[in-house]
Structure 1
Amino acid sequence: MARILIVDDAKFMRMTLANILKKANHEVIGEAENGKEAVELYIELKPDVVTLDITMPIMSGLEAVKEIKLHDPDAKIIMCSAMGQQKMVVEAIEAGALDFIVKPFDESRVMEAIQRVLQ
């Protein structure tokens, strides 16, 4: 069971992801709706895994990956992106994200990504 921080500016997306994760017995320890909140909550909660949306207000997922990695080089981050954001996904992985999942979320793909980053 992993402790997970979900970051997405869309409440519906956070709920969808939280339901998938809870069903698999993971614990959602926090939710944020922008990159700035994500960084603050990461430092405060020290989750095992972060799911991070790319396009968000205030601070993007890309900027948040870099910030979180400064605080914790071992942070396990999974990017969430809509179709057509491949270039940003590549940048996020270069910045230190370990995997990515595409929206709308596919339950088995979400679980696969979580298991992969936890290994």
Structure 2
Amino acid sequence: MRTLVRMFLEQMGHTVIGEAQNGKEAVDLYGRLKPDLVTMDITMPEMDGLEAVKHIKSANPDAKIIMCSAMGQQQVVMEAIRSGASDFVVKPIQKERLQEAVEKLFAGQGMKIGVM
């Protein structure tokens, strides 16, 4: 999923500055790289996406995070939004939907993105 999201974001003209393989690494990378936007899967090892969002938002309440979830996880998506996620896209990821979510947050500006 990270590879596909990275490819879509780069095709849109954004720079991906980091990728994490699990929630703990995502929180650590966010602290070091300070990306303009984070895309985050809900299901990850070591620390799930919901917990990672809470950690990132506690460190930076203005952090912009787009959550990625599988179909049928609506309750989890709502929990992600309550935890501070800015938006969500349903897997399988569609480029158009990802672009819509990014543009809603940044009005088409190029930015530094962390894919977690």
Give the TM-score taking structure 2 as reference length.
0.90
The number of equivalent residue pairs is 107
Q: Supply the distance in 1 between the matched residues of 2:32 and 2:42 (Cα, whole angstroms).
A: 21
Q: 1:23 aligns with which of 2, 7, 11?
A: 11
Tell me what 2:90 maps to.
Answer: 102
1:17-56 alpha-carbon deviations (Å, 9 max, x no partner): 1110001110000000111000000000000000000011
What 5-or-longer segments of structure 2 have no aligned partner? Answer: 108-116
Identity, % of aligned pairs?
Answer: 61
Q: Supply the distance in 2 between the matched residues of 1:44 and 1:115 (Cα, whole angstroms).
A: 25
Shift of 1:58: 0.3
Shift of 1:68: 0.1
Tell me what 1:81 maps to.
Answer: 69
What 5-or-longer segments of structure 1 have no aligned partner? Answer: 1-12
Tell me what 1:4 maps to.
Answer: none
Q: Supply the distance in 2 between the matched residues of 1:117 and 1:42 (Cα, whole angstroms).
A: 18
2:60 matched to 1:72? yes
Tell me what 1:3 maps to.
Answer: none
Tell me what 1:37 maps to.
Answer: 25
Q: Which runs of 4+ in 1 moved over 2 A?
A: none
Shift of 1:118: 2.0
